[in-house]
Structure 1
Amino acid sequence: MHKRSLIAFAALCAAASFAHAEAPPASGLSYNIGAVTDYRYRGLSQSARKPALQGGIDYAGAGGWYAGAWASTIRWIKDSSIPAGPQAKGPVEIDLYGGYKGTIGHDLSYDVGALQYWYVGNTLKDVTTQNANTFEVYGALTYKLFTAKYSHSLTDLFGAPGSKGSGYLDLSASIDLGDGYSLTPHAGWQRIKGFGTYMDYSLTGTKDLGYGLSASVAVVGSNWKDHFGAPFMLPGSGTKDLGRANLVAGIKVTF
């Protein structure tokens, strides 16, 4: 895999689970806006380990259908550029998604849908010849506290050439600790077709502060360095290892 294309892919795949698009409400519209100290997706930083602003809108129909959009500021496209070469632009990620949720019996539920990662006005193709925009389909099963979700790319994955058909397995649990506290452990495996598979992990604690306001703290990281033999760094972010374990804090209001 070309080094610049690998950079384009790896910088995008990073996440604390609370930082990304959420499940829609039981019915109707909801909105959320917030900020995190580092936008992580699939274990790797999208914001050069700097703060990011985020927000979204969700619609859920009574029959189980849902749709939504979620956005975040990012730095990975800009930071993918070599300082002495052409400079890529693309400061915003917008995720457009929709699907269907239902139940099987009393304790088992499912969720199937599709997700378009859209980097508005990005010029990554001018620098790496690859398109950053990515389309995935997904399916998830939840049994009581536990969820298993698989996402499959129908396009090349975040600018990695020949990576169409890559997959991501996400295992998580949602633990209610009482008094508005919850804990979410997560482990994920990203298979990059033609390159390899790495693991990411997170442990997120969330506190419901009332009036739609919540705060969260997470430990998020990946085994990128151990698996591939070198830390993940981008030209524009200097010597920062964007895949190492880090503490991520966030605050969000939903209305």
Structure 2
Amino acid sequence: MNFKLSTLLAASLITCTSGIALAAESAVTLSGSAALTSDYRYRGLTQTQSDAALQAGFNFAHTSGVYAGVWGSNVNFGTDDPHLELDPYLGYSTELSAFASKPVLDVGVWYYNYPSASELNWAEFYARLTFGSLITADDSLMTNINYANDFLGDGAEGDQWYFNATYSIPFGAGFGGVASLGYTTTSDYEFDSKGSDDYLDWKVGVNYAIPMFDGLTAELAAVGTDIDTDDMSNVTKRGVETGAVFTLTKTF
């Protein structure tokens, strides 16, 4: 396990445990999460050569709606570097109470940061709108739009847009379901040998809140893309084709 990632996880767990005390004394709340996943898939694409990943993060949120945090994971792009992704972010969230459905608007910027390979760093702006209780109580639909002008840190400074919709629904007895569909389009990046500059990604899964451990959730999902794999090696194909991903997540 990467030493830096181990340190990040330990610091996150210690810091997040103190969140309740911090919330009682100020207008700032602290939350966090730690996860173990069989494959770190980013918009359908593996970031770990289809291997497992250990991930952790924490988030500071102010009562004004402003929030900031950092999230980290081990990565493997098939090269010597990088091995660690450590992403800071800053945003603002507010409920649109003027609308009957009271959706939540969330805007911000996310910085993809690779400490040992800074030439790959890039920033992305996002806007999300989340609707609750659309079909049944406690379900949700999150829609988001993301924009970057240096996608994947390739240096070409072309436009990249990402559109996504994710629906979550509880089934009862701790079980739930999730389904998402995303679309990536770029002006300067090719995803396959045919020169495609766009692709679809999807995810369909079930999750279970383990009752004996507060905040612990298990999820099994099918994740994939429609990227053409005709001229790809078996390792590369595995990282973009539909595959099963199992994830354990603990929130604090």
1:247 corresponding residue in structure 2: 244
Larger-gyration structure (1/2): 2
The answer to whether the 8 Å contact 1:97/1:114 transfers is yes
Shift of 1:53: 0.6
| SS in structure 2 at match of 1:75 | coil
Choose from 213, 224, 228 the match for 2:227: 224
Please tell me whether residue 73 in structure 1 is matched to residue 74 in structure 2: yes
Give the equivalent residue in structure 2 for 1:33. Answer: 34
Query: Where does residue 8 of structure 1 map in the other structure?
Result: none
- 1:152 Cα offset (Å): 0.4
Cα deviation 1:81-107 (Å, max 9, x = unaligned): 4xxxxxx42100111111111112342
Q: Which residue of 1 aligns with 2:90?
A: 98
The residue type equivalent to 2:246 in the other structure is A
Q: Secondary structure at the match of 1:174?
A: strand
Paired AA for residue 175 in structure 1: I
Quote the Cα distance in structure 1 between the aligned partners of 2:121 and 2:154.
11
Aligned-pair CA distance for 1:240? 4.7
Aligned-residue Cα RMSD (Å) equals 2.2
Give 1:32 deviation, angstroms. Answer: 1.4
The answer on 1:117 being equivalent to 2:86 is no
Q: Secondary structure at the match of 2:39?
A: coil
Quote the offset at 1:161 in angstroms.
Answer: 4.0
How far off its partner does 1:225 sit?
A: 1.6
Q: Greater relative contact order: 1 or 2 (C-alpha under 8 angstroms, separation 6 or more)?
A: 1
Query: Quick one: distance in 2 between partners of 1:61 and 1:132?
Result: 31
The aligned amino acid for 1:193 is: S
1:52 — aligned with what?
53
Query: How far has the Cα of 1:160 moved from its partner?
Result: 2.7
| TM-score of the pair, normalised by structure 2 | 0.76
2:120 pairs with 1:132: yes
The offset of 1:214, in angstroms, is: 1.1
Answer whether contact 2:159 2:188 (CA < 8 A) is retained.
no
- Which amino acid in 2 is paired with 1:224? I
Name the amino acid aligned to 2:88: L
Give the residue type in structure 2 aligned to 1:251.
Answer: L
Tell me by how many angstroms 1:239 deviates: 5.7
Q: Deviations over 1:85-144 (max 9, x none)?
A: xxx421001111111111123422211000000001127xxxxxxx21110111011223
Are residue 175 (structure 1) and residue 163 (structure 2) matched?
Answer: no
| Cα shift at 1:238 | 4.5
The answer to whether the 8 A contact 2:49-2:235 is kept is no
Question: Aligned to 2:142, what secondary structure does the other structure show?
Answer: strand
Q: Which runs of 5+ in 1 are unaligned?
A: 1-24, 82-87, 124-130
User: 2: distance between equivalents of 1:42 and 1:60?
Assistant: 26
| Alignment match of 1:153 (pick from 111, 136, 148) | 148
Secondary structure of the residue aligned to 1:158 is: helix
Q: Deviations over 1:12-31 (max 9, x none)?
A: xxxxxxxxxxxxx9961112
Query: Within 2, Cα distance between the matches of 1:147 and 1:179?
Result: 23
Between the aligned partners of 2:122 and 2:107, the Cα distance in structure 1 is 17
